[in-house]
Amino acid sequence: MKRRTFLQQLAVAAGAFHAGARQAQAVQGPRRDDLVWDAMGELREEYDAALLREMLASGMDAITITLCDPKPEGAEALELAIDALLQHDRFLASRADVLRKATTVADVDRARREGKLAVFYLYQNTVQFGRDLDRVDLFYRMGLRSCQLTYNTRNLAGVGCWEEGGLTPFGRELILRMNERRMLIDLSHANMQTMAEAVAASTAPVIVSHTACMAVHQNRRNTTDENLRAVAGRGGVIGICQMRPFLTTKKRDNLHAYFDHLMHAIRVAGVEHVAIGSDRDHRVITLTPEYLAELRREEGSQVVDSDLPYFIDELNGPRRMTIVRDGLSRRGLNGDDVDRIMGLNVRRLYHEVVG
């Protein structure tokens, strides 16, 4: 896509978004005083009004969402990233009664006053940047505020959790540019070498928005204690996911496993550095043929039947943050510490890095 066409699309989409927002009517009704922020979760266009309002009613205030499939490369990755961001702008504008695009923490505060859900954008790869660091600036102007350095495999910046290797010289340049532009670096899916080297290279705190603890359950997507401490030591945040295969081999009666990971991360990294990064759909999922076909269309060969279900029964649906809050209290955390994990830690990080 030529840059002139890209900028023209950006201007049109931005105008449409703000026009829709001006026409929005705020949702009325009381909201909880405590902040709930999912550091990485799903928000799909097929979510109807009832589901969106149930998410809000559960106390959800903010969410960071993945915009598109992170697997394509080259020109396809750039085109997909642009199209997905513009499409999400249109979607948020069409549901401006309950959703607000967010680029600063002040947008979260504004959304809460209006009874809306604040939505931050994330890519789960840096392939859309190619070797052009100026694309960081362009996507920032479009509203991108967070980006994973790698997905599962090797890219120009570093190496994902499926392969061996570390941060590349270009990766160090990319981290510097993202630091300069106040774009939050997400190290989810990175392997442990790339993660450690990126934490050390960044001048700003980073996030691992959706992971679990390697010491609790062995999985290549999980994070070692050493890297949990490294992220926390530089002021970063670790989001514990709700993907069942990353948490436990048990397929039923397994809610305790999720809290085992949370509590381990708190002991290792400190309560000021742990958050919720669900990495989950907000629909109530049943493993119907239709859902399995949808999953395979989206994830392809990554779907392994023996890994299903991805969800933990009690956390399967839009009310899961209430379950998490109650479970943390039952594990003995005081109210202030529960508030930190449910959202205040992510808020602090975004305020410091993004603004």
Q: Residue 298: what pLDDT?
A: 82
pLDDT: which is higher, 304 or 223: 223
Spell out the residues 6+ positions from residue 157 whose beta carbon is closer than 8 angstroms to its own. Answer: 126, 149, 150, 167, 168, 170, 171, 174, 175
pTM here is: 0.90
What letter represents residue 160's amino acid?
Answer: G
* 26-63 pLDDT per residue, tens: 333 334 458 999 999 999 999 999 999 999 999 999 99
Residue 215 within any structural domain of the chain = yes
Residue 113 within any structural domain of the chain = yes
Q: Residue 33: what pLDDT?
A: 59
Are the beta carbons of 220 and 229 closer than 8 angstroms? no
Residue 82 within any structural domain of the chain = yes
CATH number at residue 279: 3.20.20.140
Domain that holds residue 168: 35-353
Distances (CA, A) of 350 to 315, 316, 324: 25, 27, 22
Residue 17 within any structural domain of the chain = no
| pLDDT average, residue stretch 342-349 | 98
| pLDDT average, residue stretch 123-149 | 98
Residue 78 within any structural domain of the chain = yes
- How many domains are contained in the chain? 1
- Dig out the tokens for 128 from the structure: 């859309």
How does the average pLDDT of the chain come out, rounded? 91
Q: Residue 43: what pLDDT?
A: 96
Look at the block and give the residue holding tokens 């990319």: 174
Residue 314 within any structural domain of the chain = yes
pLDDT: which is higher, 347 or 2: 347
Q: Evaluate if residue 191 carries a pLDDT over 90.
A: yes
Residue 12 within any structural domain of the chain = no
Residue 21 within any structural domain of the chain = no
* 293-337 pLDDT per residue, tens: 888 888 887 888 888 999 999 999 999 999 999 999 999 999 999
Q: Residue 53: what pLDDT?
A: 94
